[in-house]
């Protein structure tokens, strides 16, 4: 993607294109525990490494599915999907989401992003639909696939 040409006016030419991959992110036990604290979801398969090693087929704890999903927003920004000439961007929600493979504590993940569509919403707004695949390093099956929606709000013309 040529970031110099990528903007609100010509984003349509990138529909169907792979937009890139984020950096790898380590999903360690500390991150999992912090997510559990924030959400109140302290289920032992996430927070008790000894029990999870003993009683699950995963060999230890796994990340919450919603923790993996929560990484989508920041990694979309990192990939550079949001054009520089946008005043603001809003998380507009998700369409299809499927949790395919658990992320074990200590594994690294990244987001592979493709622009599915860009739909004008009137008054300088565009709704992007992005295919997001959260890959797990060295695993052929991704953690999840989702269609993320981002509402772009263009800059107002200066008078």
pLDDT at 63 over 80: yes
Task: Kindly give the interhelix angle for 29-39 and 65-79, rounded to the nearest 10 degrees.
Answer: 110
pLDDT at 42 over 50: yes
How many Å apart are CA 45 and CA 58, to the nearest integer?
9
Query: At the top level of CATH, which class does the domain 11-26+62-154 belong to?
Result: alpha beta
For residue 1, name the pLDDT band (cuts at 50, 70, 90): low
For residue 158, name the pLDDT band (cuts at 50, 70, 90): very low
Confidence at residue 3, expressed as pLDDT on a 0 to 100 scale: 55
pLDDT at 13 over 70: yes
pLDDT at 118 over 70: yes
Q: Give the helix ranges, DSSP H, for 97-155.
A: none
The pTM for the full model equals 0.92
| Residue where the block lists tokens 């395919």 | 100
Judge contact between 60 and 96, C-beta under 8 A.
no
Q: Which of 27-31, 76-80, 122-126 has the highest mean pLDDT?
A: 27-31
Mean pLDDT value across the chain: 94
For residue 159, name the pLDDT band (cuts at 50, 70, 90): very low
Sign of CA dihedral 114, 152, 144, 35: positive
Transcribe 22-51 into DSSP letters: PPPEEE-HHHHHHHHHHH----HHHH-HHH
Alpha-carbon distances of 70 from 57, 66, 116, 148, rounded to whole Å: 24, 6, 20, 11
Give SS3 for 83: coil
Mean pLDDT calculated for residue range 19-41: 98
Judge contact between 34 and 27, C-beta under 8 A.
no
For residue 20, name the pLDDT band (cuts at 50, 70, 90): very high
Cβ-in-10-Å burial (0-12, 13-18, 19+) of 63 comes to buried
């Amino acid at each position: 993607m040529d970031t110099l040409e990528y903007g609100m006016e010509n984003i349509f030419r990138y529909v169907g294109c792979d937009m890139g991959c984020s950096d790898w992110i380590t999903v360690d036990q500390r991150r999992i525990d912090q997510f559990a604290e924030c959400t109140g979801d302290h289920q032992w398969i996430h927070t008790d490494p000894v029990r999870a090693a003993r009683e699950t087929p995963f060999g230890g704890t796994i990340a919450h599915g919603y923790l993996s999903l929560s990484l989508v927003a920041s990694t979309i920004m990192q990939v550079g999907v949001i054009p520089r000439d946008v005043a603001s961007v809003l998380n507009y929600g998700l369409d299809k989401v499927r949790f395919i493979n658990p992320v074990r504590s200590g594994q690294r993940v990244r987001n592979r992003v493709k622009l599915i569509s860009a739909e004008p919403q009137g008054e300088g707004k565009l709704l992007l639909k992005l295919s997001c695949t959260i890959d797990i390093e060295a695993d052929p099956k991704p953690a999840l696939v989702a269609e993320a929606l981002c509402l772009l709000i263009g800059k107002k013309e200066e008078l």
